[in-house]
Structure 1
Amino acid sequence: MKLLLRFSRIIDRLNAAIGESVSWLVLVVVLVSSANAVLRKTMSMGSNAALELQLYLFAAIFLLNGGYTLLRNEHVRIDVLFVRLSERKRMWIDIFGILVFLMPVTLITAWLTLPVLIRTYVGSEHSASAGGLLLWPAWLLVPVGFALLFLQGLSELVKRVARLRGIDLPPPPGAAAAAPPDPLEVLAEARLPGERA
C-alpha cells in the first residue's frame, strides 16, 4: 500500500503543478481577447488566428485542469443523499464511480481522439478559416487532458481504498489550510460598540 500511496502522491503533485500553472492561461486569454477586440475596433485589424488562439487556450484551461479539479474534489456533485451517508459508504460510492464511470470514459475518450490527432499532425491540417491555426495542438489537449484525469482517478481510487483500510492521509497538494471566513457571516456576527452579546 505504501508504494501505491507514493504513486498517488506523485500523481497529485503532477496534477497540482499542471493545474496551478494552467490557471495562469486565464490571464493570457483575457489579454489576447482584449488586444484582438481593441485592434478590431480601433484599426480594423481583427485576426482569425487570435480568435482561434483564444479557443485553444480555453480548451487548455478546461481539459488540463480536469485532474486538478478532481484532486481538489471540486467537480459538480449532487450531494442531497451523499452527505447523509457514512464516510465508509461514500468511499464505496466513489470507488464504484471511479471504476465504472470515470476510468472507462477517460480511456475511451483518449483512445478515440488519437486517430484524429495523428491525422491532423501528419497532414499538418489547419482550420478552415483564413489565417487559421494548426489543428493538432488543440487535438493533443484532449488525450493529454483525459490521461491526466485518468491518472487522478487512479490516485483517488488508491486514497479511497487507503481510507477504507483506516489509513489517515495528508491533505492534497495545493489544498488551502482553512477556508477564509464568509464576509456576510463576519458582518452578521459583528457587534456595534457598546452592544451587548
Structure 2
Amino acid sequence: MGPLLKISRLIDAISNLVGRTLIWLVLAATLISAGNAIVRKTLNIGSNAMLEIQWYLYAAVFMLGGGYALLKNTHVRIDVLSNKFSARTRAWVDIGGIVIFLLPMCYLLSVFAWPIVMSAIKTGEVSSNAGGLIRWPLYALVPAGFGLLALQGLSELIKRIAFLRGAGPDPMALPHDPHADSGAAPDAPAAKAGQ
C-alpha cells in the first residue's frame, strides 16, 4: 500500500494546489466584473470580451474545482444516510460510488467532450457576440475538470482501501472525532489490535 499512498498524497497535493489557485480566479473575475461595470456606467463603453472572460473564469472555477471539493469532502453527500453507517460501511459505499459512478462518468464526459474541443481548435470557433472570445479554452475545461476529478477519485479510492486494510486512517474522520487523532477508526484492524 505504501507506493499507492504516495501516489494518493501526490494527487492530493495537485488537487490542493489547483483549488488554492482557483481562489485567485474568483478574485480576477470579481475585479474584471467591477471594472467592466464601472467603465460601462461612467464612460458608456462596453466589451463583450470582458463580459465573456468573467464567465470563462467562473466556469474554470467550477469545472476545475471538483477534485478539490472531493479532497476537502465538500461535495454533495447524503449525510442523513451516510452518518448512520459505520466507518467501514461508509468506506465500502464510497468505494462503490467511486468505481461504479464517479470514474466511469469522468471517463465518458471527457471522451465525449474531447472531439468538441478538437473541432473548436480546428475551426477556430469564436463567440457569436461581436468582439467575443475563442471557444476552445472554455470547451477544454470539461475534459480537464473531469480529468482532475477522476484523479482525485483515484486518490480517494486508494485512501479508502488503505483504511479497510488497516494501512491508513479513516479518510472521512471529522476533526472533532476522538479517533481522528489516533490515526485509526475504532473498527479499523489496527485499532482493534492495540486494545
Partner of 2:131: 131
Moved over 6 A (4+): none
| 1:23 aligned counterpart, secondary structure | helix
- Distance in 1 between residues matched to 2:170 and 2:10, nearest whole Å: 13
> Could you give the per-residue CA deviations for residues 48-103 of structure 1, whole angstroms, max 9, x where no partner exists?
00110001000111011110110011101121121011100000000000011101
Alignment of 1:14-163 (within 5 A): 14-163=14-163
Unmatched runs of 5 consecutive residues or more in structure 1: 179-197
How many aligned residue pairs are there? 175
Higher RCO (C-alpha under 8 Å, 6+ residues apart):
1
**Pairwise CA distance, 1:170:** 9.3
After TM superposition, give the deviation of residue 168 of structure 1 in Å.
2.5
The TM-score normalised by the length of structure 1 is 0.85
Q: Secondary structure at the match of 2:14?
A: helix
| Rounded Cα–Cα distance in structure 2 between residues aligned with 1:171 and 1:58 | 29
2:125 partner amino acid = E
What is the SS of the residue equivalent to 1:75? coil
Task: Give the structure-2-normalised TM-score.
Answer: 0.86
The Cα of 1:169 is off from its aligned counterpart by 4.0
Map Cα deviations across residues 127-165 of structure 1 (whole Å, 9 max, x no partner).
100001000110111101100000000000000000001
Larger Rg: 1
Amino acid in the other structure paired with 1:89: T
Cα 1:171–1:82, aligned 2, differ >3 Å: closer, same or farther?
Answer: closer
Letter in 1 for 2:51: L
Partner Cα distance (1:32, 1:23) in 2: 15
> What residue ranges of structure 2 are gaps of 5+ in the alignment?
177-195
CA separation in 1, counterparts of 2:90 and 2:171?
18
